[in-house]
Amino acid sequence: MSGACRDALERSGLYVAPREDDVEEAVRRACASPYDFAEAVLGERPWLVERQHIRPLPRARSIASSTVEAPLHTDSQSALGVPATVQILLCRAQAARGGESVFVDGFDLAARVLTADPPLGAALFEAPRVQRFYFGDVVGPTIARRGGHLAWTLAPEPKDDLGRRLAPHLARAPRVERRLEPGDVLVASNHRTLHGRRAFEGGARELVRLLAWLERPLAHDAELGRLARDVEIEPPTGPSLAEPARRAVDAMLAGEPPAKVAARAAVEERELYAWRDRVLWAGPLAGRGAVRAPR
């Protein structure tokens, strides 16, 4: 990762990359070679990249595919038990009205909660939770070390008691709003930064999102790290995957959008993610130090 990018992410959780003048060429590169595009933006080759188009669909199955306001959340789909380190957003088109991306510094929020409501602050690091996402459940404290990375987990509009207690603090937290225009490239720490989106209408808002897993954790406040617990990561078990499932995972690992792969395989996305995890744990990526991302 370039020094400027890492410094910005470790300072605030956000980095504005150089603007792409030829939008369609940038989209082509991000879709055809997502690992190369991510490496060019970050200055470091991720060991895993997941690509998705963010645009409204007639029968939206997730907030990302709708036009309504997206509550603050993290993209917590994991690989080898760790959520993506960063998300890279490349704007292809923006809506006529609305659609601003919203960000909250989760580490700053945690420090504020620890001061204003110490029991709730402690619960963020200690209380186990089951948070439900469209790709499956994530279990563990809200802020925890996962595979050595200190990371937030926040489902959109959590319904449990801790989520209700946290909601007023989320509502008061300082926010950064940015309206991405065609060619803009924004990088956000997915372990630190909670993100959402304003509702929008008019035009065809479309982003290419790359979730990138990095080997080296982003630096964090030492006190928050001291409070965080390690989440025990258990490899998935089960019979070997059939060949069609392996081909679906290969397509996903190469950067094909999960929704498209799942539709072709006629399975829910959560099942596709479960397949991917089993393949990763069984293969050479499990060591991560010996990873050779596709070129």
Q: 95 lies in a domain?
A: yes
User: Quick check: is 294 in a domain?
Assistant: no
Last residue of a domain, one of 233, 255, 278: 233
Choose the weakest-confidence range: 115-129, 203-217, 229-243: 229-243
What average pLDDT does range 224-228 have in this prediction? 95
Clarify whether residues 138 and 252 are in a common domain. Answer: no
Residue 282 and residue 153 share a domain: no
Mean pLDDT of the chain: 92
Query: Are 249 and 218 members of one domain?
Result: no
pLDDT confidence of 237, banded at 50, 70, 90? confident
Query: How many distinct structural domains can be found in the chain?
Result: 2
Give the model's pLDDT for residue 204. 86
**Is the pLDDT confidence value at 115 over 50?**
yes
Residues 214 and 93 in one domain: yes
Is 284 a residue whose pLDDT tops 70? no
* 175 and 77, same domain (yes or no): yes
One domain for residues 266 and 195 = no
Residue 108 has pLDDT above 70, yes or no: yes
Q: Residue 118 sits in a domain of what CATH number?
A: 3.60.130.10
Task: Tell whether 124 and 253 lie within a shared domain.
Answer: no
Judged against a pLDDT cut of 90, whether residue 182 lies above it is answered with: yes
Tell whether the model's pLDDT for residue 44 goes beyond 70: yes
pLDDT recorded at residue 202: 83
Residues contacting 263, CB < 8 A, separation 6+:
none
Structural domain boundaries enclosing 102: 3-233
Examine residue 295 and state whether it is found in any structural domain, yes or no: no
How confident is the model at residue 246, as a pLDDT?
A: 94
Quote the pTM value: 0.92
pLDDT at residue 269 is higher than 60: yes
Are 181 and 256 in the same domain?
Answer: no
The yes-or-no verdict on residue 290 having pLDDT over 70 is no
Asked if 224 and 274 sit in the same domain, the reply is: no
Instruction: Please check whether residues 51 and 14 belong to one and the same domain.
Output: yes
| Per-residue pLDDT tens over the stretch 152-166 | 999 998 889 999 999
3-state secondary structure the chain: CCHHHHHHHHHHCEEEECCCCCHHHHHHHHHHCHHHHHHHHHCCCCCEEEEEEECCCCCCCCHHHCCCCEEEECCCCEECCEECCEEEEEEEECCCEECCEEEEEHHHHHHHHHHHCHHHHHHHHHCCEEEEECCEEEEECCEEEECCEEEECCCCCCCCHHHHHHHHHHHHCCCEEECCCCCCEEEEECCCEEEEECCEECCCCEEEEEEEECCCCCCCCHHHHHHCEECCCCCCCCCCCCHHHHHHHHHHHCCCCHHHHHHHHCCCHHHHHHHHHHHHHHCHHHHCCCCCCCC
Q: What is the pLDDT of residues 46-76, one digit of tens each?
A: 999 999 999 887 666 677 778 899 999 999 9
Q: Is 292 contained in some domain?
A: no
